[in-house]
Structure formats: structure tokens, C-alpha cells
């Protein structure tokens, strides 16, 4: 179909006034995955001609069954770039700019967001969604938020001072597990997977100084506190073993430590096994020399990802993945000694390691093993994505965009794809909610601060933006970067430090809290010439 013919149909459907607004608008789409592919196709077919797409990820073969803009030859290529090229086949006259980047990068600051008429979120990452929500609020740009979970989904509009924002209602907290269960008494496959991903992988290849979220500890839990002390001892032993990383002996030393010695140590705690089945320590040499049956199905038929590996296969994969990950980490450390590896469900080396070690641990504790596919789903907290759900929600999101361009933001209903009882999924509409007066995100006063990041120090920000601009006492404020305190009256060591050396760059939002309860969000932007220039600081107090 020619672009002229397509435009004529869109004019009939939308009407000339709305069609003109669509054609002349500039929209941003964040995320080019399941919803994003459907959404980008809808945007170009609906007459949107100026679109920017951003996504950090590359295409994985597992994406191909539902992310229809991608094909087999695109695997390992940028989602954003390939989505752009595929979408242009639907409408070659569209102007699409693609970015393979993190939306939280400093170049995507408030001034960048303010260029857009509407922003469409197509993300599955909670922190990224919160960031886009904050940036759209600061830039005063309407945000069409959307998401799906299996057969369920939702789409709604967020606008500063008109509707509630993404953070007005608390989000469910991630599931966590007691340290004692993960370390000593696992009883389900997920316990072994969390141990492999959040403990062992982190200790060998990640940041061993940080506790992973999956291993949270309550201060009042004495049993957990004792387990954490034991965990710390074992961690120190692993650190000593890491000295031989890169040698042929490394994999065996790790194996002997976590699958033999640590298990034998647990067996000495006889009270622990009075009402539980005792674990069985593994022997590296025994598995090497003979086949040990698994606790799950080990049929050799079918795809390797879909079947449960034998214990011997797990050992082989453990050795191989340790070698691959060690090589990668050592190469990174040659350039930067602080380099680490982080678990990513789409990282084949990391997933091989977690699958192998989780299943070896499951075998020890008589727990059914899982296939690599199942481990990926559980380790990544993945709820199966349904292509039809993505298509429905993407279509609704574009219709929300039409309503925004009509100027109907205060009356745009929230739309939910949901189920009632045992009925098939239905669409439910809900009136837009007003901003939550207690929300710490949209109800906090914000100020845009233009900064020359090549020269500006923390003290410049404190004196110019906070003391002079907001008229607050430097001795009565705290400056927070997320959950990290960068300044208060008792922590002034950073005052003469460049903002960039503190990890503070363009796009950062710093929370300033005064002792009397006032709070301000400082939205930082880059500036070429002047050190600090305050804008939009009127009526702060």
C-alpha cells in the first residue's frame, strides 16, 4: 500500500485534525521487546512519522516466537536498530531514530525528554520504568505506561499534576528467601537456583562485598544471623580459592569446596537432620568416572535446553562454564581491576553455570532437578509472555496516545486486560486516579539544575542550588543519590569532589531533604559554559 493511500485511510479513521497532530508529533518509545515490537508497528501504521526508539538489549533466539520484527538472522543484533529497519518496511516515510543504549544514561536527560510530545513505555524492568516516570514528570511530558503479565495487562496515561504517577501506588516487593533455607536446608528447586545465582555466582564472579536481594536478612531473626555468619566464613574460604582462578585446578577446588566440604560440614549438625532427609556430599572423581542418576528425568531425547541434564553432564557443564566465565573476568580485570560479572538470564555462560550448580545442589538435597529452560525462567523471574496479550495492550497504548493528542488527558480511562473468575480475559475500564498526596515522587517539588560536569564539585551544587537557590541551611540538609547519602553535616568529605567522581552525571535526580521535612528533587542537566545555573527554582518553599 502506498503511503498516500495509507494516509488517506488514517485521515478517514482519525479525522484531519487528529491526523495532523499525529503526523507532526515527536514520540519516544522505550523498550523494543514484546510490547515494543507491536507498539512500533502500530505507531508507523497509524501515521506517527517522528519516532525515537531506545533499547539496550540484543536479540535472543528465545525472542523470535513473539517479537515479530525480529528473525533468525537478527540474533545477537541490537533490538532497537533491527526494530527500526523492520518497522520502516511498514511505512518507509516514517523518520525513526534508534538508540542501543540504557535509558538511564546521562545523555538522556530532562532536556532530551522534553523534546517529545508523548513517551510510550514498553519496559519490563521496574527500575527503568520508575526512571522514565521521574524523567517525564520532570519534563512535564505525558507518559503512556503499559505492561503485560501472561494473559493480563494494562495501559494508562501519566501526566504531572493530573493523574497518579507510576510510584503513587506501592509495587509488590520481590520474593526473598531466608538465608538458613538457601544455605542449609533447601527444599525446592528455586532454593537451589537462588543459591547458585545470588550466592555462588556472585562470590566467584561478582561483587562478594554485597548481599544480593534474594538473600535478605531480618535483624530480629537470630537463626538467620547465625547462618549469615557461617555464610561469611564460607565466603572467605571461596576468596582464597579464587587465587587459582584461570588454572586447571580452579573448577575442581570450587567443586570440592561447595559440593563436598560444605556438605560434610552440614552433616555434622545432627539435630538439623532428625526430621529431614540428609544431604549426600558429591565426589568430583566419582562423577568423573561413572554415571550417577539424577533426581529428575534424564532422557537424552529432545533439545538440550528442554531436558534435565545428568549429574555427569552437570559436572561437565560446571567445569566448562567456570572456565569461560573465569577467562572473561580475567580479561576484564586486565583493563580494570574492579571489574565484575553480573548474572543475566540471557548470558549463556552465566545460565550454564547456574543451571549446572543448581542441579548439582538439588541432587545433593534430593530435590528434583530442572532443565536449562526452566532454570532460565525461574532465575529471571519470568512469567511466560503471550504474543496476543502484547498485541492487545500495544493497540490500547496507541489509542491512549491519540487521546493525549486530543487534549483529553484528565478523562482518559485506565484500561486493564484481566479475568473475572473463570471467564476469558476481558477489558475493564477505570477512571484515572488523582495524584497521591503522599507520593514521594510526583508530589515532591523538583528543580532543574544545569551543571558543567567538567568542573562542578559537590560544594558548588550545595552552595548555588541549595543554599542560594532554595534558601536552605547547608547544615540542615541531606543530599541523597537514590539510597546513598552523598552529603549531610556529618558527611562533608565529598564537598571538594567533582560530581562526576561521585558518579553524579547528567540525568541524575538528587533528593534534598531538610531537617524540617521539606524535600526537593534536583534534576541535573549538562551545561557547556557556566558552572551552575539554576532554573525553575521559583516558589520552592
Feature table: binding site for Zn(2+): 165, 168, 439, 442
Long-range interactions of 410-413: CB distance < 8 A, separation 24+ = 410/162, 410/163, 412/156, 412/157
Could you tell me which of 23, 71, 63 has the C-alpha nearest to residue 43?
A: 23
* DSSP structure class, residue 463: I
Provide the β-strand partners of residue 148.
153
DSSP assignment of 47-111 equals T--EEEEE---B--GGGTTT-TT--GGGTTSBHHHHHHHHHHTT-TT-EEEEE-S-TTSTTS-HH
Residues marked as binding for ATP?
Answer: 31-36, 55, 63-66, 79, 124-129
Contact 74, 60 (CB under 8 A): no
Chain centroid, CA 224 distance in Å: 28
Q: Does residue 180 carry a catalytic annotation?
A: yes
Which helix (H) or strand (E) element contains residue 135? helix 126-139
β-pairing, 477-481 vs 484-487, is antiparallel
Task: Using DSSP, state whether 156 is helix, strand or coil.
Answer: strand
Q: Which residues of 408-432 are buried (b: 16+ CB within 10 A; e: fewer)?
A: ebeebebbbbeeeeeeebeeeeeeb
- Pairwise CA distance, residues 409 & 400, whole Å: 9
* From 37, 180, 192, 314, active-site residue: 180
- Locate 485 and state its grid cell: 547519602
Contact 472, 71 (CB under 8 A): no
DSSP assignment of 228-255 equals HHHHHHHHHHHHHHGGGTTSTTHHHHHH
Which amino acids are annotated catalytic?
Answer: 180
Amino acid at each position: 500500500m502506498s503511503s498516500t493511500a495509507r494516509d488517506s485511510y488514517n485521515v478517514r479513521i482519525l479525522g484531519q485534525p487528529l491526523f495532523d497532530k499525529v503526523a507532526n508529533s515527536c514520540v519516544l518509545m522505550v523498550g523494543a521487546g514484546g510490547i515494543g515490537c507491536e507498539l512500533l508497528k502500530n505507531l508507523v501504521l497509524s501515521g506517527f512519522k517522528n519516532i525515537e526508539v531506545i533499547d539496550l538489549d540484543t536479540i535472543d533466539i528465545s525472542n523470535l516466537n513473539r517479537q515479530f520484527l525480529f528473525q533468525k538472522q537478527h540474533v545477537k543484533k541490537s533490538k532497537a536498530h533491527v526494530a527500526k529497519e523492520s518497522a520502516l518496511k511498514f511505512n518507509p516515510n516514517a523518520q525513526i531514530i534508534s538508540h542501543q543504549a540504557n535509558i538511564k544514561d546521562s545523555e538522556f536527560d530532562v532536556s532530551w525528554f522534553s523534546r517529545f510530545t508523548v513517551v510510550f513505555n514498553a519496559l519490563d524492568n521496574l527500575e527503568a520504568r520508575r526512571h522514565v516516570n521521574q524523567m517525564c514528570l520532570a519534563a512535564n511530558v505525558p507518559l503512556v505506561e503499559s505492561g503485560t503479565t501472561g494473559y493480563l495487562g494494562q495501559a494508562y496515561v501519566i501526566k504531572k499534576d493530573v493523574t497518579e504517577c507510576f510510584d503513587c501506588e506501592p509495587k509488590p516487593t520481590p520474593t526473598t528467601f531466608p538465608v538458613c533455607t538457601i544455605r542449609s536446608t533447601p527444599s525446592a528447586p528455586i532454593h537451589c537456583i537462588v543459591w547458585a545465582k545470588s550466592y555462588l555466582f556472585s562470590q566467584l564472579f561478582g561483587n562478594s562485598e554485597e548481599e544480593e536481594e534474594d538473600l535478605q536478612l531480618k535483624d530480629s531473626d537470630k537463626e538467620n544471623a547465625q547462618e549469615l555468619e557461617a555464610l561469611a566464613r564460607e565466603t572467605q574460604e571461596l576468596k582464597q580459592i579464587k587465587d587459582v582462578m584461570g588454572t586447571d585446578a580452579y573448577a575442581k577446588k570450587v567443586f570440592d569446596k561447595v559440593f563436598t566440604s560444605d556438605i560434610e560440614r552440614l552433616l555434622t549438625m545432627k539435630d538439623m537432620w532428625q526430621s529431614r532427609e540428609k544431604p549426600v556430599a558429591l565426589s568430583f572423581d566419582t562423577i568423573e568416572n561413572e554415571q550417577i542418576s539424577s533426581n529428575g528425568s534424564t532422557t537424552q531425547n529432545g533439545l538440550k535446553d528442554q531436558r534435565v541434564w545428568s549429574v555427569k553432564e552437570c559436572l561437565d557443564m560446571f567445569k566448562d562454564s567456570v572456565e569461560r566465565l573465569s577467562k572473561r573476568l580475567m580479561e576484564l580485570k586486565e583493563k580494570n581491576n574492579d571489574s565484575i560479572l553480573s548474572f543475566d538470564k540471557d548470558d549463556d555462560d552465566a545460565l550454564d553455570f547456574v543451571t549446572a550448580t543448581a542441579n548439582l545442589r538439588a541432587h545433593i538435597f534430593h530435590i528434583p532437578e530442572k532443565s536449562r529452560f526452566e532454570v532460565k525462567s525461574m532465575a529471571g523471574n519470568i512469567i511466560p509472555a503471550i504474543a496476543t496479550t502484547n498485541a492487545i495492550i500495544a493497540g490500547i497504548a496507541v489509542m491512549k496516545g491519540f487521546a493525549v493528542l486530543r487534549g483529553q488527558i484528565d478523562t482518559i480511562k485506565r484500561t486493564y486486560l484481566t479475568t473475572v473468575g473463570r471467564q476469558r480475559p476481558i477489558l475493564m475500564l477505570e477512571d484515572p486516579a488523582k495524584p497521591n498526596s503522599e507520593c514521594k515522587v510526583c508530589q515532591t517539588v523538583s528543580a532543574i539544575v544545569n551543571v558543567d560536569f567538567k568542573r562542578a564539585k559537590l560544594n558548588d551544587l550545595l552552595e548555588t542550588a541549595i543554599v542560594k537557590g532554595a534558601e536552605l541551611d547547608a547544615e540542615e540538609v541531606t543530599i541523597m543519590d537514590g539510597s546513598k547519602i552523598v552529603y549531610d553535616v556529618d558527611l562533608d568529605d565529598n564537598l571538594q569532589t567533582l560530581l562526576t567522581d561521585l558518579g553524579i552525571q547528567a540525568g541524575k535526580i538528587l533528593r534534598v531533604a531538610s531537617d524540617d521535612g521539606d524535600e526537593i528533587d534536583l534534576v541535573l542537566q549538562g551545561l557547556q559554559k557556566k558552572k551552575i545555573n539554576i532554573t525553575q527554582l521559583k516558589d520552592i518553599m
